[in-house]
């Protein structure tokens, strides 16, 4: 018996997860559908760094938001700078627009992004500490028709990946002209119920009472339902914007529900907010959400241009996306002997150049074992090459489902596969 101590196994960090090959195919299918759709609406991809200066998120996401106060992964680098792994994407895009003066280009300011985000949050179904988002942003377009189009695009995305049964919630959170009066009224009403609120909501009365509407504690949610609603105190401009936004949703025949408690979890929202929810997700029922942020650019010292966008959590979305019924058909090369191996390698290269997925493995096995493996892997066709075939420059093409097998030259093999494709 060995006295060598057993090495401790290193596991994935809590709140992270591996996306294994059979799962990645589903991710790729959803990502392809999203990229194709976003491009049809005139959006273009933008990629920014995984970490930014901490002050970017403090200023953009909001110092009173739960993300900034509780959830950010912040560290000091070797140069003494405070950096943060991005918890969300909008501030990074705003920073990139200002830094590269994208507002001076003739192109529409419509961007999308897919990538990882980081929040120190309690891991649960569909929620991780490293998670992945699709993010869509539109800048310098203030018409409520844009708000409706972005909601319609989100609905089209869910439909394109097979997600059904979602519900659209909409609201307006006002603007800097009407929200101060509302916040005073809301703070006064919340003070009357202070003793019945959780400690976190008691703190929010002084910092940002809108965040009370985000609380998941049932007693707080019950109190929130009786608090003043911002839709009753909108200024004329915000009321007109919200009314026209709903009218354009009606034009698209998109059913929706006005939810006065929907304020979203970020401090920068103005006017329109929206969410898509699903009863299939349990308590954490939001699939995607977003809204308008007309003051962010100016607050960053940039041009006075408005914005609107949404973020979609990939892990949560994939809980709702149906699995594919079957994978794409592929060929498995079966060979025996060195000359047959070389012929198989040549055939595999040619077939791949013509767009066929081909598997060839180099561990020596019998014909029977190789064909058994091809069947277990789900190959549609077997391309069989022995010494005789290698000498004649031919291949045996076997239909793995029917068992039919015929000898063909490489050109004939290509023609047969094109017909059956």
* Alpha-carbon 218 to chain mean position: 29
What phi, psi does 282 have (nearest 5°)? 80, -145
Does position 3 have pLDDT exceeding 70, yes or no? Answer: no
Tokens describing residue 128:
């991780």
State which of 263, 287, 318 marks the end of a domain.
318
Tokens describing residue 105:
């280009």
- CA dist., res. 53 & res. 82, Å (int): 6
Residue 189 lies in a domain: no
Residue 348 lies in a domain: yes
Range of the domain at 130: 21-178+234-318
Which pLDDT does position 65 carry in this prediction? 67
Residues 93 and 57 both lie in one domain: yes
- CA dist., res. 88 & res. 78, Å (int): 24
- How much of the chain, in percent, has pLDDT values that exceed 70? 95
Angle between the N-to-C axes of helices 338-353 and 410-420, in degrees from 0 to 180, rounded to the nearest 10: 50
Residues 391 and 253 both lie in one domain: no
State which of 318, 342, 369 marks the end of a domain.
318
Sign of CA dihedral 133, 274, 283, 67: positive
pTM: 0.85
Which pLDDT does position 87 carry in this prediction? 92
Q: Give the confidence band of 71 by pLDDT, cuts at 50, 70, 90.
A: confident
Residues 293 and 391 both lie in one domain: no
Segment 373-382 mean pLDDT: 94
Segment 39-45 mean pLDDT: 97
Cα–Cα nearest to 256, from 172, 173, 168, 171: 168
What phi, psi does 211 have (nearest 5°)? -70, -15
Q: Give the confidence band of 285 by pLDDT, cuts at 50, 70, 90.
A: confident
Q: Across the chain, what does the average pLDDT equal?
A: 90
Which pLDDT does position 409 carry in this prediction? 94
Domain count across the chain: 2
pLDDT, tens digit, 9 for 90 and up, residues 188-229: 999 999 999 999 899 889 888 888 888 888 899 899 889 998
Residues 343 and 400 both lie in one domain: yes
SS3 132: strand
Residue 325 lies in a domain: no
Residue 203 lies in a domain: no
Residues 80 and 162 both lie in one domain: yes
- CA dist., res. 332 & res. 344, Å (int): 10
Residues 335 and 313 both lie in one domain: no
Which pLDDT does position 215 carry in this prediction? 84
Residues 304 and 386 both lie in one domain: no
Q: Considering only 3-7, 173-177, 226-230, which range has the smallest mean pLDDT?
A: 3-7
Segment 372-395 mean pLDDT: 94
The CATH number linked to 368 is 3.40.50.800
Residues 98 and 153 both lie in one domain: yes
Which pLDDT does position 207 carry in this prediction? 84
Where is 292: in which H helix or E strand? Answer: strand 286-292
Residue 213 lies in a domain: no
The CATH number linked to 252 is 3.30.930.10
Residue 355 lies in a domain: yes
Segment 388-408 mean pLDDT: 94
pLDDT, tens digit, 9 for 90 and up, residues 404-414: 999 999 999 99
Residue 209 lies in a domain: no
State which of 293, 318, 343 marks the end of a domain.
318
Residues 262 and 373 both lie in one domain: no
- CA dist., res. 135 & res. 120, Å (int): 20
Residues 110 and 249 both lie in one domain: yes
Segment 58-66 mean pLDDT: 70
Residues 270 and 124 both lie in one domain: yes
pLDDT, tens digit, 9 for 90 and up, residues 318-361: 999 998 766 678 999 999 999 999 999 999 999 999 999 999 99
Which pLDDT does position 144 carry in this prediction? 97
Segment 27-51 mean pLDDT: 96
Which pLDDT does position 284 carry in this prediction? 66
Which pLDDT does position 411 carry in this prediction? 93
Which pLDDT does position 242 carry in this prediction? 97
Which pLDDT does position 260 carry in this prediction? 87
Does position 1 have pLDDT exceeding 60, yes or no? Answer: no
Q: Which residues pair with 399 in a beta bridge?
A: 381
Residue 8 lies in a domain: no
């Amino acid at each position: 018996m060995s006295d060598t101590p057993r090495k401790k196994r290193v596991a994935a960090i809590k709140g992270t997860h591996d996306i294994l090959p059979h799962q990645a195919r589903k991710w790729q299918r959803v990502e392809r559908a999203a990229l194709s759709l976003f491009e049809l609406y005139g959006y273009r991809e933008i990629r920014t760094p995984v970490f930014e200066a901490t002050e970017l998120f403090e200023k953009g996401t909001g110092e009173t938001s739960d993300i900034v106060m509780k959830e950010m992964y912040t560290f000091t680098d070797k140069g003494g700078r405070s950096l943060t792994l991005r918890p969300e994407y909008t501030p990074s895009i705003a920073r990139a627009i200002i830094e590269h003066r994208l507002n001076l280009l003739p192109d529409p300011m419509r961007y999308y992004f897919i990538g990882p985000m980081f929040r120190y949050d309690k891991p649960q179904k569909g929620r991780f500490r490293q998670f992945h988002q699709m993010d869509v942003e539109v800048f310098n377009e203030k018409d409520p028709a844009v708000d409706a189009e972005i909601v319609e695009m989100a609905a089209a995305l869910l439909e394109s990946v097979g997600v059904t049964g979602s519900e659209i919630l909409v609201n307006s959170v006002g603007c800097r002209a009407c929200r101060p009066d509302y916040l005073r009224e809301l703070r006064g009403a919340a003070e009357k119920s202070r003793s019945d609120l959780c400690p976190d909501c008691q703190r929010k009365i002084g910092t940002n009472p809108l965040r009370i509407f985000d609380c998941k504690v049932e007693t707080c949610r019950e109190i929130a339902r009786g608090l003043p609603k911002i839709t009753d105190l909108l200024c004329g401009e915000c009321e007109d914007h919200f009314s026209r936004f709903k009218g354009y949703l009606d034009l698209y025949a998109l059913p929706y529900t006005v939810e006065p408690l929907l304020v979203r979890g970020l401090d920068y929202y103005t006017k329109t907010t929206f969410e898509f929810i699903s009863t299939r997700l349990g308590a954490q029922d939001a699939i995607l959400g977003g809204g308008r942020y007309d003051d962010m650019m100016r607050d960053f010292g940039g041009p006075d241009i408005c914005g609107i966008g949404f973020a979609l959590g990939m892990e949560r979305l994939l809980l709702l996306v149906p699995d594919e019924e079957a994978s794409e058909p592929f060929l498995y090369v079966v060979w025996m002997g060195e000359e047959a191996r070389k012929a198989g390698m040549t055939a595999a290269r040619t077939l791949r150049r013509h767009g066929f997925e081909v598997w060839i493995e180099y561990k020596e096995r019998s014909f029977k074992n190789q064909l058994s493996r091809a069947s277990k892997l789900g190959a549609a066709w077997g391309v069989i090459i022995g010494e005789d075939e290698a000498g004649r420059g031919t291949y045996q093409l076997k239909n793995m489902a029917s068992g039919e097998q015929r000898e063909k030259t490489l050109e004939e093999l290509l023609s047969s596969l094109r017909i059956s494709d």
